[in-house]
Amino acid sequence: QNDPDWWRGAVIYQIYPRSFQDSNGDGIGDLAGITRRLPYVADLGVDAIWLSPFFTSPMKDFGYDVSDYRGVDPIFGTLEDFDALIAEAHRLGLKVMIDQVLSHTSDLHPWFVESRSSRDNPKADWYVWADPNPDGTWPNNWLSVFGGSSWEWDTRRCQYYLHNFLTSQPDLNFHHTEVQDAILADVRFWLERGVDGFRLDTVNYYFHDQRLRSNPPVDSTQKAGADAPEVNPYSFQDHIYDKNRPENLRFLKRFRALLNEYPGATAVGEVGDSGHSIELMAAYTSGGDKLHMCYTFDFLGYGYGREFITSTVKRFEAGSAGGWPCWAFSNHDVVRPATRFAGRASDQKRLVKVMGSLLLSLRGSVCLYQGEELGMTEAELAFEDLVDPYGIRFWPEFKGRDGCRTPMAWTADAVNAGFTEGKPWLPVPADHHDLAVDRQAGDENSVHGHFRKFLAFRKSHPILAKGDVEFLEAEHETIAFIRRHEGREMLCLFNLSSEEARFELSPGVTVTPVEGLGFAGRAQAHTIIMEGIDAFFGMIEP
Ligand code: TEU
Ligand code: CA
């Protein structure tokens, strides 16, 4: 239980507090609701939870705009509720990781209020301020992820300030040592309260280029092909200057030194959109003196075919220099994988099981997002239902993030599927009732039953989390690899096509199939035969 290395290979269950469980009928999930549902999470067989932000916030970006890093927003409860949540999680054997949104604050954070009050106050340089160009225009061409220039004019200082996201999310100036000190003091506050680790929001955005050089336009021929339509002009720039600074490695060492004072405390960094995200993930996690783990958006987009997945993992393995990945297919920012991978196809459930097993078979740690274990689909919302400013801005080409943030479905026959007795902040889609926990739990063949079974399998086979990986040639859309750990070898095959697939074992190799995982893949002499959308796991005889 007190293994300081618990995070290596851990499965982390992400909870989006607004949408998990409402306890007081106001239609918004809260900490007390989460605490009530923790036995369900523990029963699933994950190692840790990661809570998306519950801190004091004007909620312009639903908590990713923090105005007090040490406070619990009254919508979600109190600090006492948080203490109770940690106590219950620990009683159930779950670690608790919390989100830290350090790259930017809310514009209502007292630091920013002070910083914008004049050009010479003590916090004048805590944010990134710049004079206009001589012709009055923006200091450079940097763009905000959420649309438009990343510079916003401030009428009091008569200067621009930097924001990589909403204008109400001003970017902190990490080049300033006092800023680093203040942030680390706030992080320590939560370590003292007993959290086991952090998810670091947009960890590659901490530092900006102090020379404020304009970004080069992206060479569109270099862009990964299989992605959503590029309606967001942000992706037409190669953001090599406005983030991803080498200074970050020094800061991450400071951050790690703080965590090292609390044995077992761990960090997973979110490497946000970047043309070099796998390389950054390797750089941030290598050497054992920076972050424990990172995840990128590589597997959170539309690419999921054989070539894409193998090449991404290989790229990390080749450049990782001892770093540790954390893989994810789902989170509160992207289209739910059941819909992304399978659309409304009839074999959606099979594909969700095969892809879930693939995710849990990759070397590294894993983040699962609430509802992923139910095969929850992306909610189809009307424009009137949207609340995400990102979705509202880019509608209709891009529908934003509300579709993956609708409430968790607990009870099929209850109003709002048991999430709230009030009016939910986002609607519960009618077809989610069928996916509710009470419909699936106890049924081995349900998506939930499969995840539960596979999580137990992974736990009893550390080879899956920790072993080395070697990819093998295979026909069509079969992903094939061998995992090796402490003298044992496991063959893992995933047929992502809807056609039957065969895999020939090398001469002299024999495998003992792993039974009971619910797949149809089987061994016939030297041939493994899989049905369409299927998998096979076998221990290789020494
Ligand atoms: O997301 C960072 C990130 O890269 C996102 O901009 C992502 O590309 C976008 O949501 C489109 O899918 C983190 C948080 O996960 C997100 O919820 C916040 O809005 C964002 O940071 C700003 O804090
Ligand atoms: Ca509530």
CATH code at position 527? 2.60.40.1180
pLDDT at 212: 97
In a domain, 146, yes or no: no
CB 106 within 8 A of CB 58: yes
Share of the chain above pLDDT 90, in %: 88
ipTM: 0.97
Q: Which of 405, 429, 459 is the last residue of a domain?
A: 459
Please tell me the distance from the alpha carbon of residue 460 to that of residue 494, in angstroms, as a whole number.
20
In a domain, 153, yes or no: no
In a domain, 405, yes or no: yes
Residue 117: which residues within 8 A CB-CB, separation 6 or more?
Answer: 156
CB 426 within 8 A of CB 407: yes
Q: Which of 427, 459, 491 is the last residue of a domain?
A: 459
Range 367-387 average pLDDT: 97
Q: Is the pLDDT of residue 227 over 50?
A: no
pLDDT band at 229 (very low <50, low <70, confident <90, very high): very low
Q: Which two tokens stand for residue 270?
A: 């979110």
Same domain, 378 and 497: no
Same domain, 322 and 409: yes
pLDDT band at 398 (very low <50, low <70, confident <90, very high): confident
Same domain, 414 and 487: no
pLDDT band at 469 (very low <50, low <70, confident <90, very high): very high
pLDDT at 1: 53
pLDDT band at 66 (very low <50, low <70, confident <90, very high): very high
* Full-model pTM: 0.97
- Nearest CA owner, ligand 1 atom 14: 201
In a domain, 134, yes or no: no
Same domain, 339 and 404: yes
Same domain, 247 and 368: yes
Average pLDDT, rounded, for the chain: 94
Q: Which two tokens stand for residue 488?
A: 């044992």
Residue-wise pLDDT for 96-131, tens only, equals: 999 999 999 999 999 999 999 999 999 999 999 999
Q: Catalytic residue at 333?
A: no
Same domain, 360 and 487: no
Q: Which of 459, 494, 511 is the last residue of a domain?
A: 459
Q: In 142-166, which positions are buried (b, 16+ CB within 10 angstroms) versus exposed (e)? A: bbbbbbebbbbebeebebbbbbbbb
In a domain, 126, yes or no: no
In a domain, 157, yes or no: no
Pocket test for ligand 1, best of 165, 169, 203, 276 (most atoms within 8 A of CB): 165
pLDDT band at 220 (very low <50, low <70, confident <90, very high): low
Same domain, 184 and 268: yes
CB 103 within 8 A of CB 171: yes
Distance 389 CA to ligand 2 centre (A): 22
pLDDT at 244: 76
pLDDT at 231: 60
Pocket test for ligand 1, best of 201, 295, 335, 392 (most atoms within 8 A of CB): 201
Distance 145 CA to ligand 2 centre (A): 30
CATH number at residue 69: 3.20.20.80
In a domain, 56, yes or no: yes
Residue 260: which residues within 8 A CB-CB, separation 6 or more?
Answer: none
Q: Which of 157-161, 282-286, 328-332, 342-346 has the lowest mean pLDDT?
A: 342-346
CB 141 within 8 A of CB 133: no
**DSSP character for 409?**
P
Question: Comparing 449 with 245, which gets the higher pLDDT?
Answer: 449
Same domain, 473 and 441: no
CB 265 within 8 A of CB 196: yes
pLDDT at 57: 98
Q: Catalytic residue at 470?
A: no
Distance of CA 465 to the CA centre of its chain: 18
Same domain, 381 and 431: yes
CB 498 within 8 A of CB 532: yes
Same domain, 408 and 492: no
In a domain, 151, yes or no: no
DSSP strand pairing (48-51 vs 55-56): unpaired
Same domain, 365 and 495: no
Domain count, the chain: 2
Whole domain around residue 234: which residue ranges?
11-104+177-459
- Token look-up 């050089």 returns 213
pLDDT at 225: 42
- Nearest CA owner, ligand 1 atom 18: 64
Same domain, 431 and 490: no
